[in-house]
Every structure is written in structure tokens, then in C-alpha cells.
Chain A
Amino acid sequence: MRRTVGALLRKELLVELRTLESVPGMSLFAVTTFVVFHFALNRNSVDGDLASGILWVTLLFAAILGINRLFVADAEEGGFDGFLLAPVDRSAMLVAKVLTLLAYLVVLEIVAVPAFALLLLGPSLAGAMPGLLVTLALGDLGVAVIGTLVAALAVQTRARDLLGPLLALPLLVPIVIGGARATSPLLALSHPTGAPARWLLTLGLYDLVFGLIAYALFDFLLED
């Protein structure tokens, strides 16, 4: 299992490095969205609830760009067929894809969070960094798991670009709730505090439950 996941992950990252189809687009999208928010809200700097909302909405929509493309190459270029012919555990593909999407999201945030701090954020990020990292990590895990499941569902349909986001957004609402509520006290202008443990726990539990659901159901999406 570990070797299979390693091989699949290496293939995914190699494909992404050679084609650069997803990650640069996602990052550019996030930075552009911050500019759009600046003009749409007519604000030079944001803090608190507004800041955490903008950050999470932007990351979410950028993630959806990656989710939409996650399985397209496998469906069109025969990646699924090759994988199904190999005598390996089917769940390896789920794990590899989740890790791939997680890697995309981490790179996206390495670009997007500093850009956000530079362009829009009022208070300094320095004190908020540890809490923000934990919250983002938990949020990313959930987005990666749900995104992979939804992408696998949508990729075989005729309207995949439409159905992917439609399926993903409601399922990701609890992640936005948890992530945005945990981030907003970190980005408060006056008296920033730590991320509330309650929200981190909610995010963690949601990740866990959806991880189990995806693990139980993913095999059914792969038999053809």
C-alpha cells in the first residue's frame, strides 16, 4: 500500500511539475481575487471576521479550481484503466489523490497567505502564525478529502465542471464555518487571541468522519 501510494504520488507530482496545469493557476486566481475584493469592498485593509472570511472564501474557490482538474487526466488519458489493471489496493488511489490535493493546497497557501498579508490584512500576521497554521492544516485536510471524493464523482459525468463545484460547496460549508470562526479572532485588530479550541476540534472531527466516508465509498467509484 505504501509503495503504491508513493508511486502514484510521484506520478501526480511529476505530471503537475511537467504540465503546471493546476497550482500556478490556483495561486494566481487567489492573488487576483484579493485584488477583486479590494475593489469590491472598497477597503484598503481588513481585519477580524471580514479578513478571515475573505481568506477562506478565496482559498475555497482556488481549491475548487484544483478539484475540478484532479481526475481529468486520469479519465481522459487512460489513467484509471492503467490503475485498475494493476494488482494493487484501490484505496491507494484515494490516499495518493488526497495527498496530491493537499500538496497543491499547501503550495497555494504559501503564495496566497503572504499575498493576503501584504495586500489586504490590517493587523500583523506574526503573532497569529501558529494558530493560523493549525487551522489551515485542518481545513486543508478536509478540503482535500471532500474534494477528492467529489472530483471522483463528478469526473465521469458530462457536466463535470458544473457538477464538481455544485457538489463540493455545500459539503465544504462546515469547513468554512469552522475555519473562518477559528481564524477571525487571530486576525482581530485589537486583542488578537488564539484560535478557539472548539472550532479546531469541530474541523478535526469533520475531517475524520469524511475521511472514513471517503475510504468506505471510493472503491465503488472505480469499478468499470
Chain B
Amino acid sequence: MYGKGLRALSIATVAAMALALALVFFYAPLEAEQGFLQKIFYLHVPLAIVALCGFVLGGLLAIQHLRTREARWDMRSYVAIHMSLIFAVATLITGSIWAKGSWGHWWVWSEPTLVSFLIVFLLYATYQPLRFAIEDPERQSRYASVFAVTAGAFVPLNFIAVRLSTAYLHPRVLGSTSNLPGPMALTFVVSLAAMALLFATLCKYELTAKHTRAQVRALRRRLTGETGAPLRQRSAAPSLQPTAASAGSATGSGA
């Protein structure tokens, strides 16, 4: 049930990424000042937007977990934040490359978006250590959700605070889509959509993998006739304890 729609989603993602890359390299015009280097904008900015939205999404899913106490919401929140962290690392790397290329430094403190992104990243980097340091699975998911909600609210607040603190040294020509010429804006929107699709696909893959692994483990236990509580390895990821019914239905369909 968790793999449902995965193939369609993957195909759509590959198609969207291919279209976005084609637009970036063959359709979008070269920018006058930065030339070819500016193309990284179509990778960097969508990555950043998707990562930030993923963090906030993780917070919203965590609210749902705190309200319903269902483990699946914690799992979704964990996957959203986990994937956003990976996107965030990619954002920092591409941002650094862009800064080196256009301003000559790997890091610039005068760019408020970059700085606030780093602070958000540093906060979320403690998400997995926090989970790992709590052994009781129920408490782990509850505390992780409290963290996710707090951090999700912190994302926009932090951006406001850092933006206030920085005088604009560099004109933010490429910061928003409103002042982009038409072809560039179209390419950017397509890139953003492709990146969002990639995020959704990767999240779905991770969810499916976790559920499949839990089911396989449950089936193997049934096969070897083990009884009693399963040994639980310490882990930062939320644990899935598939019910006997779900494992049973899996064997039924398999046979």
C-alpha cells in the first residue's frame, strides 16, 4: 500500500527534472553580468525554497502527531525533516559556489538569506542527535515533535530577524521572480516545480522503504517462529511496529 503511485511519481519527477534542465541550458537567456554562472540560480534557489518548506511541513506534521498521537505522523514529520536536511546541505554548497563565483568569497555575511539559512541548518542539525539521545520510542517521538514545531516556527522568525540586521550591500536582482524577465521566470518556476516533485518522490521512497523493511522484519520473525517483544536497536529514526494484521495481509497477498 505504501508503494502505490510510486512509479508514476518517479516518472513525473524524471520528466520534470529533464524539462527543467533543458530549459535552464537551452532556453533561459544568459544573464548580462554573471553569464553562465547565473544558471546555478535555477538549482540553488529551488533547493533552498523546497528545503525551507520541508522544514515547515515537518513542523505541521508534528502538530498533527501531537494532536492525534499516531505514529505515522511522526514518521512523516521525520522523513520531511530528514529529506529537508539533505536539501539544505545541497543548498549551502550551491550557495557557496555561487558566492565564490560572483563575489569572490566562499561565504558572505552580507547576504541575509544565506546567513539565516545557515542558522536554520545549524538548528535542524540537532534534530537527529536529539532523537538518538532519547531511548524510549514514545518519548522520542513526542519530544521530536515538540522540537519540530518549535523549529518550524523559528524558520520564518529567523529570516525576519536576520534580514532586519543586514544592510543590503548587494542588490538583490535575482532574489524574487517579480523582476525576472519572462523566459527566466518560466525556467525558474519549472525548476521549482521539478525540485518540489523530487522532494515528494524521495520522501515517498523513504517512507516506502521504512514500511517495507518493517514488514519484512515482521514476516521473518513469523517464519522463524520468534515470539516476544522484538529487540529494538537504538536509532534516531522512528520505529515501526507493524501489527500482526498488516504482516498477515502481506503473507496472504504473497501466497
Interface residues of A (CB under 8 A from B): 149, 153-154, 156-160, 162-163, 166-167, 169-171, 173-174, 177-178, 181, 198, 202, 206, 209, 213, 216-217, 220-221, 223-224
Contact = CB atoms under 8 A, between A and B. Distances in A.
B150 interface: yes
Interface of B: 66, 119-120, 122-123, 126, 129-130, 133-135, 139, 142-143, 145-147, 149-150, 153-154, 157-158, 160-162, 164-165
B66 A220 contact: yes
A158 B139 CA distance: 13
Contact of B143 (A153, A158, A170, A177): A153
A170 B123 contact: yes
Given A170-B119, A181-B165, A157 B130 contact: yes
A167 B123 contact: yes
Give me the 9 closest cross-chain CB pairs, A-B, nearest first. A157-B133, A174-B161, A170-B123, A166-B126, A159-B133, A177-B165, A158-B133, A170-B122, A217-B146
Contacts of A153: 130, 143, 146-147
B130 A213 contact: no
A162 B129 CA distance: 10
A217 B67 CA distance: 11
Given A156-B134, A158-B133, A167-B147, A202 B154 contact: no
B157 A167 contact: no
Contacts of A163: 126, 129-130, 133
A157 B134 contact: yes
B155 to A, nearest CB: 11
Q: Is the interface of B mostly helix, strand, loop or mixed?
A: helix
Contact of B123 (A157, A159, A171, A223): A171
A158 B143 CA distance: 13
A78 to B, nearest CB: 17
B119 A173 contact: yes
A169 B123 CA distance: 8
Nearest to B145: A220
Given A153-B147, A202-B160, A220-B145, 19 more contacts: A153-B130, A154-B130, A156-B143, A157-B143, A159-B129, A159-B133, A160-B133, A163-B126, A163-B129, A167-B147, A170-B154, A171-B150, A173-B158, A174-B158, A177-B164, A178-B161, A181-B165, A206-B161, A224-B139
7 contacts: A171-B154, A173-B158, A174-B157, A177-B162, A181-B165, A217-B146, A220-B66
Given A153-B143, A173-B119, A221-B146, A167 B130 contact: yes
A158 B153 CA distance: 26
Given A166-B126, A198-B164, A156 B139 contact: yes
Contact of B161 (A157, A166, A202): A202
A202 B130 CA distance: 29
**Which of B119, B161, B162 has the most C-beta atoms of chain A within 10 angstroms of its own C-beta?**
B161
A209 B157 contact: yes
Nearest to B153: A213
Contacts of B135: 158
A202 B150 contact: no
Nearest to A223: B142
Nearest to A212: B153
A202 B161 CA distance: 7
Contacts of B122: 169-170
B161 to A, nearest CB: 4
A220 B146 contact: yes
Contacts of B165: 177, 181
